[in-house]
Amino acid sequence: MYEEALKLIINYQKIIVIRHKTPDYDAYGSQIGLALSLRNKYPEKIILMDGDENSNNVLSIPMDKVKKEDYKDSLVILTDQSSVKMLNDENFRLADKVIIIDHHESSPDFGDLIIIKPLYSSASEMITEFLSESSIEIPKEAADALYIGMVGDSARFLYRGTSSNTFKMASILIDSGADILEDYKKMSKDESANQKKFKGYVLSNFQTYDKIAYIMIDKKTRDSFSIDTSYASRGSVNLLSGIEGIDAFVDFTESDEGEIYTEIRSKEISVVDVAKAYGGGGHALACGATLSSFKEAEELVKKLNDHVKGEANELL
């Protein structure tokens, strides 16, 4: 399928690389790594990056100012996501063709070429593999972006999706110039006093419901710590891990638009079907969704609890 993707890339003059909103390291890494590599390989083409910004863009490589009309007659490549609900907009529908390159468990109802590998550690691993197999040189900045994406989504190569192929791709990125010590420094930058206080708030205010630990963070609370949505959701959910008697844990964070960003994690039991029931998706043990209200969040907690207890009973 990588060969088909390369054929489409060769055939289009204008290519727009996009990813999900509130991007994490892998969303940025796969997007930036692919776009910079394509710009280096095809300087005659127009290669654009579109999407919202946050503090996870540790390489400070800016997005382009892409207009809705720019999508017309273009090839869109969507990385690290295949759910419309997780995108900033639906401008991709104006494109001539859409390629999806994702590592989450999903069955998208859009896209002309869909490449999904749920056993991979990250979309950045997939992009590195695609570039390598397509004999497309990976410039240093692209290698750094992809390495950061791979490290971020694999939790420094600790998660189950990490394989021998992950390390093979990491080796390719190092050979391409990725400065891994500098990359780790950028990912491990000092936190502000407000960020530390926010973590204290989460640990002091989380709630439990039988086998579930969860925290609900409204916009007012988030603003009081000057914390962005991404840091409050993906950045804090793992604070609830390792609690005795808890099988799954959830962070519900209200965005500036009033949506409830939901991050679900589990120790051992797959919870992705619960995320899918709410229009989301992801991996077996790490997934998410976007809800309309905290009332819906309370409903999810109860359904999640029923799910993990049912799955646990089946394992006995």
The torsion angle over the Cα atoms of residues 274, 249, 31 and 72, rounded to 10 degrees, is 40
Identify the sign of the CA torsion 215, 222, 299, 241. negative
The identity of residue 219, as a single letter, is K
pLDDT exceeds 60 at position 137: yes
Q: Residues 17-75: pLDDT tens digits? A: 999 998 999 999 999 999 999 999 999 999 999 999 988 999 999 999 999 999 999 99
pLDDT per position as a tens digit, 4-21: 999 999 999 999 999 999
Give the rounded percent of residues in the chain with a pLDDT score beyond 70. 98
Q: Are 101 and 109 in contact (CB under 8 A)?
A: no
8 A C-beta contact, residue 101 and residue 130? yes
Residue written as token pair 């005659």: 44
Q: For each of the domains in the chain, give its residue range(s) and CATH number, in order of start.
A: 2-187 (3.90.1640.10), 193-315 (3.10.310.30)
Q: What's the chain's average pLDDT? A: 94
pLDDT of 314 higher than 60 = no
Q: What is the pLDDT of residue 313?
A: 58
C-alpha 238/C-alpha 24 separation (Å) is 14
- Residue 216 carries which side chain, given as an amino acid letter? M
Taking the alpha carbons at both ends of the chain, their separation in whole angstroms is 40
CB within 8 Å of 16: residues ≥ 6 apart: 48, 49, 50, 66, 70, 71, 74, 75, 76, 77, 92, 95
Q: Is the pLDDT of residue 161 over 50?
A: yes
Alpha carbon 70 to chain centroid distance?
24
240 CB-near residues (< 8 Å, 6+ apart) = 202, 206, 213, 214, 215, 246, 249, 250, 251, 265
User: Residue 126 and residue 101: Cα distance in Å, rounded?
Assistant: 7
Contact assessment for residue 94 and residue 71, using Cβ atoms and an 8 Å cutoff: yes
pLDDT in tens, 225-282: 999 898 899 888 999 999 999 999 999 999 999 999 999 999 889 999 999 999 888 8
Mean pLDDT of 173-195: 93
HEC assignment per residue over the chain: CHHHHHHHHHHCCEEEEECCCCCCHHHHHHHHHHHHHHHHHCCCCEEEECCCCCCCCCCCCCCCCCCHHHHCCCEEEEECCCCHHHCCCCHHHHCCEEEEEECCECCCCCCCEEEECCCCCCHHHHHHHHHHHCCCCCCHHHHHHHHHHHHHHHCCCCCCCCCHHHHHHHHHHHHCCCCHHHHHHHHCCCCCHHHHHHHHHHHHHCEEECCEEEEEECHHHHHHCCCCHHHHHCCCHHHHCCCCCCCEEEEEEECCCCCEEEEEEECCCCCHHHHHHCCCEECCCEEEEEECCHHHHHHHHHHHHHHHHHHHHHHC
